[in-house]
Amino acid sequence: MIALCFVLTILSCSDDNVSQVDKKEVYSKEQIKLVSTLRKTALDICLITSNKETFQEIRAIVNLNIKFGQDENARFKDLIENGQSVYYTGNQLKKAPTVNRLFTNLCQSINNDSTETFLINNNIQIYWPYSENWDESKVPVVTYEPLNKMATEVVAYKLNQNGTIDSLIVDEEYAKNNPVWVINQNNTDYDNLPNFIKGKTVKNNIIYLIENSSKLPLNVAENLPLNDSTYVYSLYIGSMKAVKQWDTWIAGGSEFKFRMVGAKLVGGVQSTDYSMAIVSAPAFTRNDISNKKTKILNSLINIDWGIRETANGFALWEDDGGSSSQPVKFDVGYDKIKVSAEFKIGSVDDLIYQIALDRNSFFSINKVDNGNGLVDGFAYNTSGGVYWTMPWIITKRAY
């Protein structure tokens, strides 16, 4: 009861705290409501850390996310909803039974409101940075993503031995050595994820790459012609690493996406632009980037860069979400015809690299060291602290 009263006292003051912040910056009512809910949820989750079974349940779902190429997250949809999961098979009631029971009972006893529905429908999650550093004994502290997205120090909550909640200031260095659960919002709607557990990896024209799947080496033949219409020229994203954190530690790791666009003839006379599928690389966790970990993607990004396609567009960006309103434009070509090609990324995504690749130049220099070294005979490209190779496979055309 003391703990519950403490939570209610803090929540009763939360609107004043938000209002004070709001006087300095301009935030929408939706943003203020979201952060207020994140704060309240952080306090609620802090109370259930008295039961150590919750640690392993949340850790298990975080590990499933990592296994299927996502960040160190456990969404409330998988923690407190008994419906279908894209990560979990079998009895849905067993996903996180202790978290489900304790959190649900807590919400009903304090609020009797629609908090749980809001958390599920709005992709709210527990983000656990540096989860692999956890020694399985330390009790997590709980914080939330504040209105100031660039904050590096935040208030966190910790349950003490008396059953009441203490507050402390934490930063990324603290999170590296101590478990910190961050209540924040995932940029990707849960319904837009493929059903990983059933072997699905493509949805809405996005290829989601799974890090732990077996990556066979590409069978790259040597000394084949680079400009012969009787061959198929397939491009891949090969090896990849990142050495720069593109988000704050409170927001998460980095999710990188690639795409190519080109031009084709329509009806034999008119050229038009077209886009290939987006390749979504496995998430790079904070540890991945700190350790400069290399990941082998070997993912097809262009099924056939034909010799008549004189220029293709290529883009790399870090996914932060928002409405699909940020245009990415290229001048691409087919024979002597040039057209403008365009697709859109999220309004707050970070566009890292954008270029119109000349076909002849690309195939002549892609196996030449540009100063970053070679991987399996192909050049390491770099921009914004991200490195990647673009190997090709050349095969005889069957038609």
Domain tally, the chain: 2
Same domain? 28 vs 173: yes
Same domain? 207 vs 180: no
Same domain? 37 vs 68: yes
Res. 21 pLDDT band, cuts 50 70 90: very low
What pLDDT sits at residue 109?
74
Same domain? 310 vs 343: yes
Q: Mean pLDDT check: name the lowest of 49-63, 233-247, 271-285, 371-385.
A: 271-285
Res. 8 pLDDT band, cuts 50 70 90: very low
Q: Could you tell me if residue 149 is inside a domain? A: yes
pLDDT (tens digit per residue) in 36-91: 999 999 999 999 999 999 999 999 999 999 999 999 999 999 999 988 899 987 66
> Can you tell me which residue has the tokens 């790079």?
284
Query: Does the pLDDT at position 2 exceed 90?
Result: no
What pLDDT sits at residue 149?
86
Res. 270 pLDDT band, cuts 50 70 90: low
pLDDT (tens digit per residue) in 213-257: 556 667 677 788 999 999 999 999 999 999 999 999 999 999 999
Residue with more model confidence, 209 or 11? 209
Residue with more model confidence, 24 or 321? 321
Query: Does the pLDDT at position 272 exceed 90?
Result: no
Same domain? 243 vs 383: yes
Paired strand residues for 302: 235
Q: Are 127 and 249 in contact (CB under 8 A)?
A: no
Query: In degrees rounded to 5, what are phi and psi of residue 210?
Result: -105, 120
Burial of 132 (0-12, 13-18, 19+ CB in 10 A): middle
Query: In degrees rounded to 5, what are phi and psi of residue 186?
Result: -75, 140
Same domain? 250 vs 312: yes
Q: Mean pLDDT check: name the lowest of 14-23, 302-311, 356-365.
A: 14-23
Residue that terminates a domain, selected from 156, 186, 216: 186
Residues of the domain holding 125: 2-186
Res. 24 pLDDT band, cuts 50 70 90: low
Q: Could you tell me if residue 6 is inside a domain? A: yes
Nearest CA to 279 among 303, 304, 263, 299?
Answer: 299
Same domain? 228 vs 161: no
Query: Does the pLDDT at position 123 exceed 60?
Result: yes
Same domain? 175 vs 207: no
Res. 168 pLDDT band, cuts 50 70 90: very high
pLDDT (tens digit per residue) in 140-166: 999 999 999 899 999 999 999 988 999
Same domain? 165 vs 240: no
Paired strand residues for 254: 284
Query: Does the pLDDT at position 399 exceed 80?
Result: no
Q: Could you tell me if residue 94 is inside a domain? A: yes
What pLDDT sits at residue 16?
35
Identity at 157, one-letter amino acid code: Y
Q: Could you tell me if residue 194 is inside a domain? A: no
Q: Could you tell me if residue 383 is inside a domain? A: yes
Same domain? 169 vs 208: no
Residue that terminates a domain, selected from 160, 186, 212: 186
Instruction: Of 108-122, 214-228, 306-320, give the range with the top mean pLDDT.
Output: 306-320
Q: Could you tell me if residue 193 is inside a domain? A: no
Same domain? 12 vs 119: yes
pLDDT (tens digit per residue) in 324-363: 999 999 999 998 888 888 999 999 999 999 999 999 999 9
Residue that terminates a domain, selected from 158, 186, 214: 186
When the pLDDT of each residue in the chain is averaged and rounded to a whole number, the result is 88
Same domain? 353 vs 213: yes
Query: Does the pLDDT at position 294 exceed 60?
Result: yes
